[in-house]
Amino acid sequence: MRKIFFCIIFQLFLCGVWAQETNMKLWYNRPAENWNEALPIGNGRLGAMVFGQPAKEQIQLNEETVWSGGPGNNTNPDIKEVLPEITKLLFEKKYEEAGRLAYDKVYSTDNGQKFEPVGNLWIDFPDKSKVSGYYRDLNIEDAVSSVKYKADGVNYTRQFFSSFTDNVIIVCLTADQPGKISFSLGMDCQMRSKVSVGKDHIIDLSGITDDQDGVSGQVRFHALVKPVCEGGNISVSEDKLTIEKANTATIYISIATNFKNYKDISGDAFVKADSILKKALTVDYKTALNNHSSYYHKYFKRVSLDLGTTSDIQKTTNERIAAFKGGDDPQLVSLYFQFGRYLLISSSSYPGTQAATLQGIWNGKISPPWDSKYTTNINAEMNYWPSENTNLAEMSKPFIHMVEDLSQSGRETAKEIYGARGWAFHHNTDIWRISGPVDHSFSGLWPTGGAWMSQQLWEHYLYSGDEKFLKDEAYPVIKEASKFFVDILQKEPEHGWLVVSPSMSPEHNYLKNATTCAGATMDNQLVFDLLSNTIRTADILKVDSSFADSLRKIKKQIAPMQIGQYDQLQEWMGDFDKPTDHHRHVSHLYGLYPSNQISPYRTPILFSAAKQSLIYRGDASTGWSMGWKVNLWARLLDGNHAYHLIEDQLSPAVRPDGTVGGGTYINLFDAHPPFQIDGNFGCTAGIAEMLLQSGDGFIFILPALPDRWNNGSVKGLMARGGFEISMQWKDGKIEKLTVESKLGGNCRIRSRTPLKRADRTQLKKSHGENTNQFYQVNTVKEPLISKKASVKKLKLDRTYLYDIPTEAGQTYYFFR
Ligand code: FUC
């Protein structure tokens, strides 16, 4: 008896019941009542939503390659013949006619496949007695979720994690009295599937994914579930396992598919799932848990953020969200920020996993919104905004690999639809890397997706300085993307500018019936960045000098940004913008963020116009649009406005009357609605952007600090040029700044407060506006305009610029 008790105590210890207390917890005193209240765990490949119901636990399972359809592209070559006619109509200003023609002729039969849920694991407990002391949490410091409660005098605990190191999901069930763990295990699935139980007490859910848009489902999957009990009996009844009177039970869930890559599905799902499971079973629970958390700590613990803590931390997470707006709970912002980092590590973990979809790797619906695929006119890119600056560069690799795939699949689209070299890509893709237009022309006829997607590769270089990556991975992709635009850019007749046509400003109409246009501002900005990055890469690598020269000439002819009748940055080539327009997309502000073309110091006229545009657009929005606006207000150096957007984002998605709007579900998932993960990532990036910016040729410390965060500290944010930055501030002023230089080179710092270096050497005050030597900005010309009214109102705070020559691997300390 003593031995058994000891074992239980030991297991409780292993399951982390007495794990160190942390503020990095989402916690609740009731189980999840629906999917948006369940808690996400993930290892980049396997995702699960844990509900925590005492009587019947539901674990909704995802594996990242379980998608409908199969290999193939959606290029419709018939589109080719109509494009010149659409452009001709646009150049003749017959906009609606052009739009109608595009609507009739631009389509694809395959509008993309869907990411599908594997199914559910149900743990059914016979003990339905009344529960007291209920508690559940998600500890994002260790990437573990747990449930605790008392029933019939027994304290029960459950612990869940999706192991980074063993590649399985592990559930551990314990009680503080021996022989109290009894349950049955079963599975269900909404696709063509069957469940069986083998002699070795392994449940095997196997199936094949769905057909969609005429493409038959070809992904075969196996989910294997094996309970390992200490004490008790195990028996099989049809497709279920029953466990009686065990002391503890550890359940291993292994899922795999036949997917090898976007062209190859010749894998053996069972062999893969089985070998992963067998290997995982050789590792004892304590080691598995330790390995998992240690792996995760390597990434998660690189950054810490303290914006202050109030007594609100005592409240449950749902109460905190309800009280946030107008309250005083700065720690909820740090938690939300770190939750974004948790989600990125858990849904896009390097190496070898797929990029995070519209829902990361968490989807419970057989027909999810927008197929839970990749929308690339903002959403997929936004998912990766926090990857570099919050020190998770490795997590951007799955996205980069997706772009590499698209640079291959998109060749056919470039050739067949545009008669062009290079690769073409539009506003959606899926695991099969489709690259043709998707849906109708209203959102699908946008050939600039490749230019935006390529930007991440360049950014990865700016932060890492990795020339091998630049040469072997980035350059082949961006060079071929540039070639596509060299071939398709057209001279518009009014000014002789080079423009993309037909295209659009994503999903937005400039006339009642016209989205299709030529020379949308965002397109001009995207192509400008792409060509600039290609030229700079060719220069750095000392290759293709004549190609780079030809791009220089083309770049000069791209349509410039323009300022319209309302002092706004024009969204289109014509001055169509309306001050009453509150559309969720703010595409023309790409030039302000994530790009660096618009700057208060280099282009104050455009900066003022961008600000005016954002004021007209208003704050009210949902999900990703709010996340984008946090970043934009940060770039506009207005921390209080950015904070206001964070307040909107952290408002309860479910209103008191039960209706759902934008904001945050109680599990901290962003509501578009329904759940869309881009808003989480966008806001996470925005919080970092309020504290540190490096897009303008210098590192701006505390550029947009709101009054609410007057005191605080942050450790481990990354700046372009490979500088790791930590800071402490008091009364809104920097107290201590630490710069760790990974690559060496000049570090140019902009600060609102004068700085002193610890040993007073090598701190050079600079007066020029030149860029730091590693990171140069893409300079654009200010538009020639007569109205400068709004510019006159632009008042910039006094700042101090310093040049610090650094050496790789050295750390530099500064004080107020
Ligand atoms: C874009 C947005 C929608 C939605 C979808 C997934 O098309 O306009 O709001 O977020 O992506």
Q: What Cα–Cα distance (Å) separates residue 306 from each residue in 296, 321, 651, 710, 729?
A: 20, 18, 21, 11, 10
pLDDT over 80 (residue 784): no
Q: How do strand 220-230 and strand 304-306 relate by DSSP bridges? A: unpaired
Atom of ligand 1 nearest to the CA of 507: 8
Q: How far is the CA of 499 from the centre of ligand 1 (A)?
A: 25
Q: How far is the CA of 652 from the centre of ligand 1 (A)?
A: 21
Pocket probe mutation, ligand 1, options 374, 378, 427, max atoms within 8 Å of Cβ: 378
Residue 233: what pLDDT? 97
> Are the C-beta atoms of residues 179 and 245 closer than 8 Å to each other?
yes
Q: How far is the CA of 603 from the centre of ligand 1 (A)?
A: 30
Rounded CA separation 156/174 (Å): 6
Residue 379: what pLDDT? 98
Atom of ligand 1 nearest to the CA of 623: 10
> Are the C-beta atoms of residues 258 and 100 closer than 8 Å to each other?
no
pLDDT digits (tens, 9 = 90+) for 405-429: 999 999 999 999 999 999 999 999 9
> Are the C-beta atoms of residues 635 and 689 closer than 8 Å to each other?
yes
Q: How far is the CA of 737 from the centre of ligand 1 (A)?
A: 39
Q: Dihedral angle at the C-alpha atoms of 56, 59, 60, 63, nearest 10 degrees?
A: -160
Pocket probe mutation, ligand 1, options 370, 382, 621, max atoms within 8 Å of Cβ: 370
> Are the C-beta atoms of residues 693 and 702 closer than 8 Å to each other?
no
Residue 10: what pLDDT? 43
How does residue 14 score in pLDDT terms, banded at 50, 70 and 90?
very low
pLDDT digits (tens, 9 = 90+) for 584-626: 999 999 999 999 999 999 999 999 999 999 999 999 998 999 9
Give just the sign of the alpha carbon dihedral 122, 127, 128, 131: negative
Cβ-based neighbour number of residue 761 at 10 Å: 10
Q: Where are the beta strands (DSSP E) in 339-395?
A: 374-375
Higher pLDDT, 766 or 669: 669
Q: In percent, how much of the chain has pLDDT > 70? A: 95
Q: What Cα–Cα distance (Å) separates residue 816 from each residue in 367, 411, 626, 728, 729?
A: 55, 54, 34, 10, 9
Q: How far is the CA of 597 from the centre of ligand 1 (A)?
A: 25
Question: Does 673 sit behind a cis peptide bond, omega within 30 degrees of 0 on the bond before it?
Answer: yes
Q: How far is the CA of 49 from the centre of ligand 1 (A)?
A: 23
Q: What Cα–Cα distance (Å) separates residue 118 from each residue in 364, 592, 677?
A: 9, 41, 19
Q: What Cα–Cα distance (Å) separates residue 456 from each residue in 53, 397, 470, 528, 695?
A: 41, 10, 12, 15, 13
Residue 524: what pLDDT? 98
Atom of ligand 1 nearest to the CA of 379: 11
Residue 771: what pLDDT? 63
pLDDT over 50 (residue 19): no
Atom of ligand 1 nearest to the CA of 427: 7
Pocket probe mutation, ligand 1, options 507, 509, 582, 621, max atoms within 8 Å of Cβ: 507
3-class SS of residue 325: coil
Pocket probe mutation, ligand 1, options 111, 426, 624, max atoms within 8 Å of Cβ: 624
The pair of three-digit structure tokens given for residue 771, joined into one six-digit string: 């860029």
Report which protein residue has its CA nearest ligand 1's atom 1: 375
Q: How far is the CA of 377 from the centre of ligand 1 (A)?
A: 8
- In the block, which residue shows the tokens 């295990």? 185
Q: How far is the CA of 375 from the centre of ligand 1 (A)?
A: 7
Q: How far is the CA of 288 from the centre of ligand 1 (A)?
A: 39
Pocket probe mutation, ligand 1, options 114, 373, 375, 438, max atoms within 8 Å of Cβ: 375
What is the chain's mean pLDDT, rounded?
94
pLDDT digits (tens, 9 = 90+) for 265-294: 999 999 999 999 999 999 999 999 999 999
End-to-end Cα separation, the chain, in angstroms: 63
- In the block, which residue shows the tokens 């890509």? 425
Q: Residue 473 has what DSSP assignment?
A: I
Q: Where are the beta strands (DSSP E) in 602-657?
A: none
pLDDT digits (tens, 9 = 90+) for 369-391: 999 999 999 999 999 999 999 99
> Are the C-beta atoms of residues 813 and 738 closer than 8 Å to each other?
yes
How does residue 16 score in pLDDT terms, banded at 50, 70 and 90?
very low
Residue 778: what pLDDT? 78
Atom of ligand 1 nearest to the CA of 624: 10
What's at 55, amino acid-wise? A
Q: Where are the beta strands (DSSP E) in 596-730?
A: 663-664, 670-671, 692-693, 699-701, 712-719, 723-730
pLDDT over 90 (residue 9): no
Q: What Cα–Cα distance (Å) separates residue 787 from each residue in 306, 325, 494, 571, 591?
A: 43, 38, 22, 18, 20
The full DSSP string for 162-201 is E-TTTSSEEEEEEESSTT-EEEEEEEE-SSEEEEEE-TTS
Residue 568: what pLDDT? 95
pLDDT digits (tens, 9 = 90+) for 727-774: 999 999 999 999 999 999 999 999 999 998 877 666 777 766 666 667
Element at 715 (helix H, strand E): strand 712-719
Q: Which is nearest to 496 in space by CA: 557, 564, 555, 575?
A: 557
Residue 12: what pLDDT? 43
The full DSSP string for 151-165 is ETTEEEEEEEEE-TT
Residue 350: what pLDDT? 78
The pair of three-digit structure tokens given for residue 467, joined into one six-digit string: 């020339």
Q: How far is the CA of 680 from the centre of ligand 1 (A)?
A: 15
760: left (phi over 0), alpha (psi -120 to 50) or beta: left
How does residue 538 score in pLDDT terms, banded at 50, 70 and 90?
very high
Q: Which is nearest to 62 in space by CA: 385, 374, 357, 381?
A: 357
Q: Where are the beta strands (DSSP E) in 400-478?
A: 428-429
CA 614 to chain centre: 23
> Are the C-beta atoms of residues 371 and 355 closer than 8 Å to each other?
no
Residue 772: what pLDDT? 66
Rounded CA separation 627/58 (Å): 31
- In the block, which residue shows the tokens 């099969």? 432
Q: How far is the CA of 677 from the centre of ligand 1 (A)?
A: 12
pLDDT digits (tens, 9 = 90+) for 183-225: 999 999 999 999 999 989 999 999 999 999 999 999 999 999 9
Q: How many Cα neighbours within 13 Å face the side chain of 480?
A: 24
Q: How far is the CA of 378 from the centre of ligand 1 (A)?
A: 8
Q: What Cα–Cα distance (Å) separates residue 437 from each residue in 111, 429, 499, 784?
A: 8, 9, 19, 36
Q: How far is the CA of 506 from the centre of ligand 1 (A)?
A: 9
pLDDT over 90 (residue 7): no
Atom of ligand 1 nearest to the CA of 676: 10
Rounded CA separation 401/380 (Å): 13
Q: What Cα–Cα distance (Å) separates residue 508 from each residue in 166, 212, 380, 446?
A: 46, 27, 18, 11
- In the block, which residue shows the tokens 């005191």? 711
Rounded CA separation 396/410 (Å): 21
Q: How far is the CA of 736 from the centre of ligand 1 (A)?
A: 41
pLDDT digits (tens, 9 = 90+) for 454-510: 999 999 999 999 999 999 999 999 999 999 999 999 999 999 999 999 999 999 999
> Are the C-beta atoms of residues 773 and 550 closer than 8 Å to each other?
no
Q: For the chain, count helices (H), then strands (E).
A: 21, 33
Q: Residue 434 has what DSSP assignment?
A: -
Residues 6 or more apart in contact with residue 262 via CB below 8 angstroms? 71, 405, 409, 431, 432, 433
Atom of ligand 1 nearest to the CA of 672: 10
Rounded CA separation 645/615 (Å): 13
717, β-bridge pairs: 725
Q: Which is nearest to 454 in space by CA: 427, 433, 479?
A: 479
What interhelical angle do 623-635 and 678-691 show, nearest 10? 10
Residue 13: what pLDDT? 41
Atom of ligand 1 nearest to the CA of 622: 9
- In the block, which residue shows the tokens 């290997």? 279
- In the block, which residue shows the tokens 């829902």? 359
> Are the C-beta atoms of residues 17 and 157 closer than 8 Å to each other?
yes
The pair of three-digit structure tokens given for residue 230, joined into one six-digit string: 């200490």
Rounded CA separation 189/455 (Å): 39
pLDDT over 60 (residue 786): no
> Are the C-beta atoms of residues 724 and 705 closer than 8 Å to each other?
no
The pair of three-digit structure tokens given for residue 810, joined into one six-digit string: 């050295």
Q: How far is the CA of 676 from the centre of ligand 1 (A)?
A: 9
Q: Which is nearest to 695 in space by CA: 462, 376, 453, 451?
A: 462
Atom of ligand 1 nearest to the CA of 678: 10
Q: How far is the CA of 167 from the centre of ligand 1 (A)?
A: 32
Report which protein residue has its CA nearest ligand 1's atom 7: 375
Pocket probe mutation, ligand 1, options 114, 373, 625, 672, max atoms within 8 Å of Cβ: 672
Q: In percent, how much of the chain has pLDDT > 90? A: 89
Pocket probe mutation, ligand 1, options 379, 383, 509, 586, max atoms within 8 Å of Cβ: 379
Cβ-based neighbour number of residue 773 at 10 Å: 15
3-class SS of residue 794: coil
List ligand 1's pocket residues with C-beta within 6 A: 358, 370, 375, 379, 443, 507, 584, 624, 672, 676
Rounded CA separation 172/229 (Å): 10
3-class SS of residue 749: strand
Residues 6 or more apart in contact with residue 658 via CB below 8 angstroms? none
> Are the C-beta atoms of residues 359 and 373 closer than 8 Å to each other?
no
pLDDT (mean) for 576-584: 97
pLDDT digits (tens, 9 = 90+) for 300-311: 999 999 999 999
Q: What does pTM read for this prediction?
A: 0.96
> Are the C-beta atoms of residues 425 and 450 closer than 8 Å to each other?
yes
Report which protein residue has its CA nearest ligand 1's atom 11: 375
> Are the C-beta atoms of residues 488 and 479 closer than 8 Å to each other?
no
3-class SS of residue 765: strand
